[in-house]
Amino acid sequence: MVTGNSHLPMKTTTLCAMEPRNTGKIDHLETKNPGILQKLMAMGILPGMPITLLRKSPSYLFEVDQTRYAVDREIANHIYVSC
């Protein structure tokens, strides 16, 4: 019998800080700009969704719910991922 928490602690980082081909879950969106927040939510970029970073250049290409999105660094910096 195993006691204690067998799960590894999750770390939270921005999408910009992730390495390509890494996967995680969107932890939260953090911005003071309501336009950016509204855009991300309208795209379906919501907390709890699985996310995979595909590449960083020339833009941040990532996949959420079988849909690929390309955003610039400014937008990617507002997406926090648990991995």
Residue 5 has pLDDT above 50, yes or no: no
Residue 29 predicted with pLDDT over 80: yes
Higher-confidence position of 20 and 6 = 20
- pLDDT tens profile 37-55: 999 999 999 999 999 999 9
Superfamily of domain 12-82: Ferrous iron transport protein A (FeoA) (2.30.30.90)
Q: In the chain, where are the structural domains located?
A: 12-82
What amino acid is encoded at 25 in this protein?
K
* Res 7 pLDDT > 90: no
Average pLDDT, the chain: 90
How many whole angstroms separate alpha carbon 31 and alpha carbon 79?
9
DSSP string, 32-75: S-HHHHHHHHHHT--TT-EEEEEE-SSSEEEEETTEEEEE-HHH
